[in-house]
Copies of this chain bind each other. A is one copy, B any other.
């Protein structure tokens, strides 16, 4: 295939486009670890760019540890030692597999304070115009590597039952239930976004990197909002897994999410 890369206005450079193209081919498994990828001249010809441009893309891939190059031999797709410890979260477990994370899990509390929440948060928590919330920003680490950036809003009346230190050491759910709140139901919405500078620094990725975005709102029995979470995850260190089972229902067959095995 002789696809040709374009560059028009702020469309990203050719080398960047080629870099993305190759990176995607690797991380999607289309180019398996161990595979020898085409030579620089062949890539240059295939994509209608100069060899310099190909080299830039390959250098970026090398810097990320995705490929290995040897003069006289070629370029090989690396085995990925990084993705070895990918955290997975069953949908049902609102908490990621803490058990798997074990002792290596840690939390950094970046921000902690009270104030008026942004409008979107206030609406979803079903608060009145004046109700204040506690806002906290936390970064979770596994094996000292950050993988999630969590922004939570909790109504002030609930949040006063715990302090800054407790939030830095104890899962928020435990704190909420301890305070007497009866967690009842929740909605989650999953999307994708780009890392801005703050998040990029906290998670150790480049600005503009892709991140999994998850927004969760938890309600109590009365339908009052209890927690609003906006989570950003590094896709190379975190993944959301869902197992489904085909089941028979009243109106025909449908897909039933598997309940978590509470081990």
Which A positions have Cβ atoms within 8 angstroms of B? 1, 3-6, 9-13, 15-21, 24, 27-32, 56-57, 59-60, 63, 88, 91-94, 118-121, 183-198, 206-208, 210-213, 230, 233, 235, 239-246, 249-252, 254-257, 259-260, 262
Contacts and interface: CB of A to CB of B under 8 A. Distances in A.
A15 B9 contact: yes
Given A4-B197, A241-B188, A20 B57 contact: no
Given A3-B197, A191-B240, 18 more contacts: A4-B197, A9-B59, A10-B56, A10-B60, A11-B16, A12-B12, A12-B206, A20-B196, A88-B189, A91-B244, A91-B257, A94-B255, A183-B246, A185-B246, A186-B244, A188-B244, A191-B239, A257-B259
B235 A21 contact: no
Main secondary structure of the interface of A (DSSP, over half): mixed
A243 B12 contact: no
A193 B210 contact: yes
A226 B213 CA distance: 30
A255 B186 contact: yes
A226 to B, nearest CB: 11
A197 B246 CA distance: 36
A250 B208 CA distance: 44
A231 B251 CA distance: 27
Contact of A243 (B185, B195, B262): B185
A236 to B, nearest CB: 9
B17 A197 contact: yes
B262 A56 contact: no
Contacts of A257: 91-92, 257, 259
A136 to B, nearest CB: 15
B3 A208 contact: no
A92 B256 contact: yes
A53 to B, nearest CB: 8
Contacts of A230: 28
A20 B91 contact: no
Contacts of A255: 92-94, 186, 260
